[in-house]
Amino acid sequence: MTQQDPEQSPDPQLEGAVSRMAVAGHPLHPMTVTFPIAFLMAALPSDLAFVLLGDPFWARMSLWLLGAGTFMGVVAGTVGTIELLWVGGIRRRVTSWSHFVMAVMLLAVGFANWMLRLDDAAGAILPWGLYLSAVGAALTAIAGWLGAKLVFHHQLGIWEENELDPNTPGQPPRAGPVGHRRC
């Protein structure tokens, strides 16, 4: 008898999950992760621009990108953690926990990188700032890939149209005969 992978199981409890942290049917976690992804990924090219050009503007830019990325990452992470703990269909997936661990590691690296630069943004870039920015970019890519897998492959964070009352003002229009749509 072969053992089935729980992530590929035909178990209906593992067939997608409805987002509980949403505004007008739009899940909050996917909406809030865009800024930390952009800011934390941009810190590496900003550091490289400083190393190549020597312009202190790029050192200050990296400092701001890391601070804003870390702050917005905490906001996105808080929403994502609430969703993870609240929704059983999300909590039951190994990929969800892997995404969570990568995101926490990313925030720790981003915060450490930002704190390293507070006193001297330019002086902190070589070698540790650049190294931490590269690690942060790698963690962002891994966490983003896992998050996209959860949304697009496993259909987590979907909005169930069946749960909406069509007579309630402010509800988005139905998409048609499909019982749910991906967010």
Average confidence (pLDDT) over 142-159: 84
pLDDT, tens only, 72-117: 999 999 999 999 998 888 888 999 999 999 999 999 999 999 999 9
Which positions ≥6 away from 53 have C-beta within 8 Å? none
17 strand-pairing partners: 156
User: Average per-residue pLDDT in the chain?
Assistant: 83
130 found inside a domain: yes
Task: Please tell me which residue, 158 or 43, carries the higher pLDDT value.
Answer: 43
Using DSSP bridges, classify how beta strands 156-160 and 180-181 pair: parallel, antiparallel or unpaired.
antiparallel
180 found inside a domain: no
pLDDT, tens only, 133-142: 999 999 999 9
Q: What is the pTM of this model?
A: 0.77
Report how far residue 112's alpha carbon sits from residue 35's, in angstroms, rounded to the nearest whole number: 19
Which domain, by its residues, includes 132?
A: 17-162
pLDDT at residue 6, rounded to an integer: 52
2 found inside a domain: no
121 found inside a domain: yes
Report how far residue 181's alpha carbon sits from residue 149's, in angstroms, rounded to the nearest whole number: 16
Total domain count, the chain: 1
Dihedral angle sign, alpha carbons of residues 112, 115, 119, 121: positive
177 found inside a domain: no
